[in-house]
């Protein structure tokens, strides 16, 4: 339970540097992905409840808040860099979801 709340707190706090253009938005992205990794520790005890909340915060932060990745009026980022950042984020989210499924299956 502590890991779940810690992950939610880190995910919410990662939205703050996401507003700032430049390297701070990449730091916000890395913070949000680390929150996702922290949420994996709560899967065995609490199920995927906390992880779903963290994933929702991260996806909303990436698409609506993050200055480099948001859909509308994003900072001037070359398309190749934007695609790489988005690909890394999507890969980490997908891998963490698969790991959470496996953890949940083995704990039951």
In a 3-state reduction of DSSP, which class is residue 85?
helix
Specify whether the CB–CB gap between 50 and 42 falls below 8 A. Answer: yes
Spatial separation of the C-alpha atoms in residues 81 and 17, rounded to whole Å = 19
Spatial separation of the C-alpha atoms in residues 108 and 106, rounded to whole Å = 6
pLDDT in tens, 30-89: 899 899 999 988 888 888 899 899 999 998 888 888 877 777 777 777 888 888 888 888
> Can you read off the two tokens belonging to residue 9?
């707190």
Predicted TM-score of the model (pTM): 0.83
pLDDT in tens, 15-25: 999 888 778 88
**What is the domain partition of the chain in residue ranges?**
2-107
Report the length, in residues, of the chain: 108
């Amino acid at each position: 339970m502590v890991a779940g709340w810690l992950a939610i707190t880190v995910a919410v706090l990662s939205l703050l540097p996401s507003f700032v253009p430049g390297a701070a938005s990449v730091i916000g992205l890395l913070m949000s992905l680390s929150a996702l990794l922290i949420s994996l520790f709560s899967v065995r005890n609490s199920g995927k409840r906390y992880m779903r909340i963290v994933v929702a915060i991260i996806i909303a932060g990436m698409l609506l808040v993050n200055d480099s990745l948001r859909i509308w009026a994003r900072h001037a980022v070359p398309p190749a860099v934007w695609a790489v950042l988005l690909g890394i984020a999507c890969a980490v989210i997908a891998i963490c979801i698969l790991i959470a499924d496996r953890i949940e299956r083995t704990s039951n």
